[in-house]
Structure 1
Amino acid sequence: MTLVATLTAAHLLSAPLPDLLAEVGAQVIFSSIHDEVFFGAVTKCRDGRIALHRPADRPDWEWDAIARSLLGSALDVPLTPLPVPFISVTVPA
């Protein structure tokens, strides 16, 4: 697992997604939410584990961008926000 302190925006945006997920130990869970405005979610456990919740009906190219944005948010990697209609909401633990 990569130390999150060494994860840069450049690496987050350029590494192959499967490699990136393995580096940070993130688990992908296919979500049962079927809503056209749900693009995914991330949960970060107190012990540092990360779970990405992927809508099953979204295309791979879209998921790639969403997953990277969600990981950046969970790992405090500064990224440019995604454009509208995407929003990010943080719920305190």
Structure 2
Amino acid sequence: MSTDHLLDTPLPQLLAEHNVDVSVLKADPGFTGGAYVRADGSVLFVRPAGRPEAEWEMMARAMLGRVLRVPLPDLPSLYELTEL
């Protein structure tokens, strides 16, 4: 996948292309999302309830980029991705 495709494709289409499941849950205010790669290779994203849509768009694309090893520009300084 190219960086342009990851950044320009509508998010619902992008998540569907990669069979990403999204679960919405109530979370601490500082939590902006999470990704889990299951043993079968499928991906689950955790979307915190009540966070701004623009923030979710940015974080979902950043997480998918990390999972797929697609190079992306740095996130704004308020955000970071941590891989465990």
Q: TM-score, normalised by structure 1?
A: 0.84
Structure 2 segments unaligned to the other structure (5+ residues): none
CA RMSD of aligned residues (A): 1.0
Q: Tell me how many residue pairs correspond in the alignment.
A: 84
1:37 to 11, 17, 30: 30
2:49 to 49, 56, 75: 56
What percent identity do the matched residue pairs reach?
39
Distance 2:61 2:25 in 1: 17
Give the 5 Å matches for 1:82-93. Answer: 82-91=75-84
What amino acid sits opposite 1:46 in the alignment?
A
Structure 1 segments unaligned to the other structure (5+ residues): 1-6
Give the 5 Å matches for 1:1-93. Answer: 7-33=1-27, 35-91=28-84
What's the offset of the Cα at 1:65? 0.9
Q: TM-score, normalised by structure 2?
A: 0.93
Q: Secondary structure at the match of 2:46?
A: strand
Distance 1:82 1:31 in 2: 23
Ranges of 4+ aligned residues in structure 1 off by more than 2 Å? none
